[in-house]
Structure 1
């Protein structure tokens, strides 16, 4: 989404994590810093638990 316009530039957000990883307690999140998108992983029960989804993007062909 960042190529279209700056989006969620001040906080981190959970991103879709495959079920197999969620079942193991993992979760993916990302943020936009220094004009780049960074993707990280952490335990879903970490202090990032307060991070929420900001949007849902659906691509249609």
Structure 2
């Protein structure tokens, strides 16, 4: 853990630490579905970006 991680852990309330630990454990146990979901989000964002019409590059008049 990094220095910042240690500081955050020391200052966080116990319920927050427990929830973070449970979330980290679940993420480690389910890496394949987590990576697949992350890849799907990236693909979605890339496709969405490609479908947008280009913005006009004219400068505002005035």
Q: TM-score, normalised by structure 2?
A: 0.20
Give the structure with the larger strand fraction: 1
Larger relative contact order (Cα-Cα within 8 Å, sequence gap ≥ 6): 1
From the CA coordinates, give the structure whose radius of gyration is larger: 2
Q: TM-score, normalised by structure 1?
A: 0.20
